[in-house]
Amino acid sequence: MRLIPCMRGTDEDEDHSKQIDREIKNWIKTYNEAIKLLLLGTGESGKTTIIKQMKILHVQGFSLKERAEKAVHILHNVHESIYDIVSNMPALSIPLQNPKNIQSQHYILKWGPSGPLEYTEVYFDHVRALWRDGGVRECFKRANEYQLIDSAEYFLDRIDLIEKPDYVPSDADILRCRQKTTGIQKIEFKVKVPKSMHGGVQDFWMFDVGGQRGERKKWIQVFEGINAIWFLVACSDFDQTLREDNTQNRLKEALELFGDVWQSRFLLEAGLIVFLNKQDLLEAKVSQGRSIAPYFPQYDQFSAAGDEYTRTKMFIKSLFMGILTKKRERRQPNASERFIVGEATRSRECYFHFTTATDTDNVRTVFRDVHQIILTQLLNNIGVY
């Protein structure tokens, strides 16, 4: 009996291979045509909040399923907030003003930092009692002396709403929801191009990577082909230390990291836009009488028009602007900063914006300006504009 070879399997494999090749080619074309933005900055500077804003502004917002998932993280934010406050009261020698709340303090502490498996009515009663206690409020006011998320007050003030079984987070809630970024996140969206710049629609790809020191070694994975860097600075953190290193001031860490990014030869072709973020929290701190001077003594010699808040924000801006022209000593990067290889020597522009990442109107206005800057740079590079 003669065997006839079957060719169908080979043909199907070949067709499948060609289909994959076509998809890869299309993806590469889309990748090359998209404007790629990379969000950089230290931990808790507001990078993930910007990603959420882009989703609200340009990707039809959050679905009910996504809001339900965020509700779980918000519940944890509530516990994280009250736990961090009451667990730091002994170290700061702050007692509870109402002795009846000692039971509530023990109840919260027994769950540890991870929180309960189920958030019951009893749990929220204890949280509510503690949040009303004058000692807890006093400890909250000294939050710069320990680690506490920025949205603690926001969520603790809303526990009556959050504890409801049918609670659905609003956009404002989601923007303030704190969840540590690990790995690399990406969002794709389209933006209309002004008619003055030939019109049409432009694809944007935005990448967010974790800002903690241990996450920075992953940054180099997304440097290739980046058109613009958005570097976020938490200006209100001038009196706080890093979660991963309680000996290092957060704003000083941001300045060092900005210098590394500015000098990196991997980012030489990318435009650089600095968001001096958390202006609302900075203004609140300054209005409470907190000064940047104890942490940056040179502030006493800084002169600028305006009130104390205006002077403070302009001083912070001047610190970053000084890095643009300062010749930095070469240093051997450690394992968590491996993206620093060589130094950039080509001159380039750096744009500064004062921002509040949780304010959608503010972000919309700033992004409009940034969009124009990026498009102008790209068109200039190819001699079109």
DSSP string, 203-222: EEEEEEE--SGGGGGGGGGG
For the annotated binding site for Mg(2+), the residues are: 48, 181
DSSP-assigned states of every residue in 163-174: TSTT----HHHH
Which of the four pLDDT bands, split at 50, 70 and 90, describes residue 35? confident
For the annotated binding site for GTP, the residues are: 44-49, 150-151, 175-181, 208-212, 277-280, 357
Instruction: Extract the tokens encoding 40.
Output: 């950089």
Verify whether residue 60 is a known catalytic residue.
Answer: no
Residues 6 or more apart in contact with residue 31 via CB below 8 angstroms: 205, 225
DSSP-assigned states of every residue in 169-204: --HHHHHH------SEEEEEEEEEPPGGGT-SEEEE
What integer pLDDT is reported at residue 266 of this predicted model?
Answer: 77
Instruction: Extract the tokens encoding 325.
Output: 């022209």
Verify whether residue 178 is a known catalytic residue.
Answer: yes
What integer pLDDT is reported at residue 18 of this predicted model?
Answer: 66
Closest CA to 273 of 223, 233, 322, 215: 233
Residue carrying the six token digits 């740079």: 377
Kindly state the average pLDDT of the residues 57-77: 95
Which of the four pLDDT bands, split at 50, 70 and 90, describes residue 260? confident
Verify whether residue 260 is a known catalytic residue.
Answer: no
Closest CA to 85 of 126, 131, 31: 131
Which of the four pLDDT bands, split at 50, 70 and 90, describes residue 144? very high
Q: By percentage, how much of the chain surpasses pLDDT 70?
A: 81
- Burial (CB < 10 A; 0-12, 13-18, 19+), residue 269, is middle
Specify the range with the lowest mean pLDDT, choosing from 20-34, 66-80, 199-213: 20-34
pLDDT in tens, 157-183: 999 999 999 999 999 999 999 988 777
Closest CA to 72 of 30, 118, 134: 118
pTM above the 0.85 mark? Answer: no
What integer pLDDT is reported at residue 336 of this predicted model?
Answer: 46
Kindly state the average pLDDT of the residues 333-340: 48
Hey, how many other C-beta atoms are within 10 angstroms of the C-beta on 57? Answer: 15
What integer pLDDT is reported at residue 337 of this predicted model?
Answer: 46
Residue with more model confidence, 283 or 243: 283
List the alpha helices (DSSP H) in the chain: 8-33, 47-58, 64-88, 102-110, 121-131, 134-141, 152-156, 159-162, 171-176, 250-263, 279-287, 308-325, 360-381
Kindly state the average pLDDT of the residues 275-284: 96
246 phi/psi in degrees, rounded to 5: -75, 10
The single residue of 44, 84, 173, 237 carrying the catalytic annotation is 44
The single residue of 42, 49, 240, 377 carrying the catalytic annotation is 49
pLDDT surpassing 90 at residue 354: yes
Which of the four pLDDT bands, split at 50, 70 and 90, describes residue 335? very low
pLDDT in tens, 180-198: 877 788 889 998 887 776 6
Verify whether residue 13 is a known catalytic residue.
Answer: no
Verify whether residue 23 is a known catalytic residue.
Answer: no
Residues 6 or more apart in contact with residue 90 via CB below 8 angstroms: none
Residue with more model confidence, 381 or 50: 50
pLDDT surpassing 90 at residue 73: yes
For the annotated binding site, the residues are: 44-49, 150-151, 175-181, 208-212, 277-280, 357
Which of the four pLDDT bands, split at 50, 70 and 90, describes residue 328? low
pLDDT in tens, 302-318: 999 999 999 999 999 99
The single residue of 147, 185, 202, 212 carrying the catalytic annotation is 212
What integer pLDDT is reported at residue 96 of this predicted model?
Answer: 98
Kindly state the average pLDDT of the residues 122-142: 98
The single residue of 84, 163, 208, 253 carrying the catalytic annotation is 208
List Cα–Cα distances, 220 to 57, 209, 223, 349, in angstroms. Answer: 28, 10, 5, 22
pLDDT in tens, 212-248: 666 666 666 667 788 888 999 999 999 999 998 999 9
Which of the four pLDDT bands, split at 50, 70 and 90, describes residue 15? low
Rg (CA), the chain: 25
The single residue of 67, 178, 213, 250 carrying the catalytic annotation is 178
Task: Please check whether residue 40 is in contact with residue 228, taking contact to mean a CB–CB distance below 8 angstroms.
Answer: no
Specify the range with the lowest mean pLDDT, choosing from 228-242, 246-260, 265-279: 265-279
- Looking at every residue in the chain, the average pLDDT score rounds to 86
